[in-house]
Amino acid sequence: MHLNYSLICIPPLHHSEAVQGTVGQLECNITSPITGDRAILVIWYKGAQTIPFYTLFMLHPVTAWLGAYSRGCRAACRRRVVDKNPYRLVHSVRNWFDARDIREGSHRSSNSSFDGRTNFYPNRAPAMLEILQTKPTDSGIYRCRVDFHKSPTRNTRVQLTVIVPPEKLLIVDEKGSHIRHYILGPYNEGATINITCISTGGRPLPKVQWWYENKVINNTSVVLSDKRVKNTLVLHRLERKHLKSVFTCQAANNNVTNPISASITLDMNLRPLSVRLQGKNRPLSANHTYDLQCEVLGSRPAPTITWWKGSTQMRGHHETTDPDGNITVSILSFRPTIDDKGKYLSCRAEMAVIPDAGKEDGWKLDIYHVPVVTLEYGTNYNYTSSIPEGVDVYFECNIKSNPWVYKVIWRHYVSVFLEVE
């Protein structure tokens, strides 16, 4: 005996998806192709199971059974009802069906794995079986069998896929180390870095993306295993604008639940933008104390500030930094001397973490002071001995003054005998 496979009719396979924990919906067409006909029995099976997990009697159970009997289930009926006497036939049918089914539109769930999570809605278009709080084990092929009063039995197959969202994300740096407190760095301005986001769990495997300022900047996912997917983000030549930037990794495998996400904040070391001595370069008076201020803008972290007079490093200064860490001010208590005139006073900002980031600003000092006068004999005559009476005597008046004197007065005791302007 040869089996003709062309006569075997396999119902088409429909597809349905549900996210774990949501409602799974399986459609079943219970409309008869014959006008005036109606479904009398709906039975749901899962996989290759022969015992239904859900049954709906659309008519009185006895009527449904008799309809099935009349359409060719004689062999099955004979196994349950031996005597064809109508009275005993009805009596046997009553013993076969559960007493709770002896009413029109009776629902019966008989599979403990669903634990009362299934409901069938015949009045929807199309009719729908709902599985509440779906689990991964609910995935599979379901078969809906519909018996009609007149029309032949119809079978519908539905493939239910329960989507399991990804479980967690891990962000690591280029060394593969976990990023503590989700603060990445600090990295020097101009550096190139890479960060990797690893997603664990999920069925199907999720797509992992990097976001920055509400835009996707990298959507290249690499599958590591049947449970892990990664996405590596490379940032070339970091700029000042990247300081405190937030980069977000998202993993999703459906459009129903929100993606899981993790964010990191980028910390950076920034070279100073400017170093400037405050105020104008004006003359300073010798032996007076001044508080000179030097402002460093844009350095992160706060720079090391030193003061120099020529090649000599100066002491006696202190620094303050604003709460944002963007401006550092150094104040030097400076008492110039006459000898400081013409020297170069400078403020220098340096950073140990960025060796070539040093900047400085300075002034050429102009020191005002009162005239300093010395009187001595003329250099062309040797006055080592007493001076004879009647001999000419030469004196030199040496003057050191800034600004220059406008008048020189010669006195003998208290008497003025010469004025030079």
Do 131 and 237 fall into the same domain?
Answer: no
Do 214 and 350 fall into the same domain?
Answer: no
Residue type, 391: V
Tell me: pLDDT of 376 over 90: no
Nearest 5°: CA angle at 169, between 253 and 197? 95
Summarised one tens digit per residue, pLDDT across range 187-234 is: 999 999 999 999 999 999 999 999 999 999 999 999 999 999 999 999
Output 42 or 3, whichever has higher pLDDT.
42
Do 178 and 264 fall into the same domain?
Answer: yes
pLDDT band at 88 (very low <50, low <70, confident <90, very high): very low
Round to whole Å and give the CA distance between 353 and 334. Answer: 30
Output 12 or 293, whichever has higher pLDDT.
293
pLDDT band at 100 (very low <50, low <70, confident <90, very high): very low
Do 323 and 196 fall into the same domain?
Answer: no
- For residue 120, the model assigns a pLDDT of 93
Give me the sheet containing 24-28, strands edge to edge: 24-28, 127-131, 118-121
Tell me: pLDDT of 25 over 70: yes
Round to whole Å and give the CA distance between 410 and 105. Answer: 134
pLDDT band at 396 (very low <50, low <70, confident <90, very high): confident
**Domain presence at residue 88:** no
Summarised one tens digit per residue, pLDDT across range 165-175 is: 999 999 999 99
Do 140 and 240 fall into the same domain?
Answer: no
What are the beta bridge partners of residue 416?
A: 411
Helix axes 86-96, 61-70, angle to 10 degrees: 110
Do 150 and 238 fall into the same domain?
Answer: no
**Domain presence at residue 182:** yes
Model pTM score: 0.70
pLDDT band at 406 (very low <50, low <70, confident <90, very high): confident
Last residue in a domain, options 268, 283, 316: 268
pLDDT band at 397 (very low <50, low <70, confident <90, very high): confident
**Domain presence at residue 237:** yes
**Domain presence at residue 136:** yes
Last residue in a domain, options 253, 268, 283: 268
DSSP assignment, residue 203? B
Instruction: Give the range of the structural domain holding residue 411, as residue numbers without chain letter.
Output: 371-420
If one counts every other C-beta atom within 10 angstroms of the C-beta of residue 344, the result is 12
Which stretches of 11-85 are DSSP H helices? 61-70, 74-80
**Domain presence at residue 151:** yes
- From residue 289, alpha-carbon distances to 284, 336, 338, 369 in Å are 9, 7, 13, 13
pLDDT band at 145 (very low <50, low <70, confident <90, very high): very high
Three-state secondary structure call for residue 6: helix
Round to whole Å and give the CA distance between 58 and 28. Answer: 14
Round to whole Å and give the CA distance between 147 and 143. Answer: 13
Output 80 or 217, whichever has higher pLDDT.
217
- Can you tell me the mean pLDDT for 333-343? 94
Which stretches of 185-287 are DSSP H helices? none
**Do residues 161 and 243 touch, judged by C-beta distance below 8 A?**
no
**Domain presence at residue 172:** yes
Round to whole Å and give the CA distance between 209 and 229. Answer: 11
Three-state secondary structure call for residue 100: helix
**Domain presence at residue 75:** no
Round to whole Å and give the CA distance between 174 and 237. Answer: 15
Last residue in a domain, options 143, 163, 183: 163
**Which CATH number does the domain housing residue 175 bear?**
2.60.40.10
pLDDT band at 72 (very low <50, low <70, confident <90, very high): very low
Q: How many helices (H) and strands (E) does the chain have?
A: 3, 31
**Domain presence at residue 72:** no
Tell me: pLDDT of 417 over 60: yes
Do 219 and 132 fall into the same domain?
Answer: no
Closest alpha carbon to 334 in 277, 400, 404? 277
The count of domains in the chain is 4
Tell me: pLDDT of 75 over 70: no
